[in-house]
Each structure stands twice: as structure tokens, then as C-alpha cells.
Amino acid sequence: MVAAINTCDTTFDNITLKSGSNSNSYYLAAMGHKLVIGENVTTELHTSGSGYYFYICGGGSSATVAKTDVTVLSGSWAALNLGNFASGTIKGDAKLKIDGAYFSGTIRCSYKNAAINGDVYMDLQNITGSGSIYGGSSNNGKNYGDMT
């Protein structure tokens, strides 16, 4: 299930996001708009089977967007794709700030044939969890700009 943020910049503060039982993953897809996961955001997983997980995505699925700007200050997340989680292009710059969140999976710029054409800016602090951090890409994702 994808919760796409299609029309405006969005901030979540002081909220619990709960997964249902109808999908094995949930995506918060910013679709190129600014996404801020602020203070006191928690995720509650469905308890049957292995549970269902929340992913954060600056772009979308096979989307073409002008830029991405994602900030994560709290919560427990499966993974984060700064660009798209499938093919598609971020035409401009991509910005990521994480300070105080848990990730069980990978934090990466591009994934699965997606591309970021602009520069990438990453400010990563106080991250806990068992996942990996890729300054670049995985599964044929491409970054064409500089990284800071």
C-alpha cells in the first residue's frame, strides 16, 4: 500500500501510524514534495505473521519529480529511498536529514533502476537499527550529481 503525498509538503508530528493486514509493506511516498517526519512519530505494526513494515520514499514508484527533500526525526522504519523505489527520475537535487530514528533496513539514494540527476545532500545523525546505509545506490539505481 502506498500513501502518496501528491499535492503539498507534509509534516507528521505526535502521531502513531498503524499498519493494516492487507499488504506486506506500507510506503509514505512524498512524490517530490517536502516530507518531514517530526517529533514523537511512532509506527505500530500488525501483529500476525512477520508483521508489516513502513518505508519512506522521497519520490514514488516510477515517478518523475523535480526534487526530493526528506527529514526524519523519530520513528521506526523498514527502509528509506531518497529517490524512487522503482524506476523513474528525480530531475534535481535530493536532500535527506535523519536525526534520531530507527531503521531495520537500508537507507539509500536510488533503487531499482531509479535515477537522481541532481546533487545529493545527506545529514545523518543518531541513527539506530540493523540496516545499511548506501551513500549511492543499489539494484541498478543511478546517481549522477555530487554527494555532500
pTM across the whole model: 0.89
pLDDT digits (tens, 9 = 90+) for 94-115: 999 999 999 988 898 877 778 8
Angle at 64 between CA 103 and CA 12, to 5 degrees: 40
Q: Are strands 142-143 and 68-72 parallel, antiparallel or unpaired?
A: unpaired
Which residues in 58-145 belong to E strands, given as ranges? 64-65, 68-72, 76-77, 79-81, 88-90, 94-99, 102-103, 107-108, 110-111, 114-116, 120-125, 137-138, 142-143
pLDDT digits (tens, 9 = 90+) for 65-83: 999 999 999 998 988 999 8
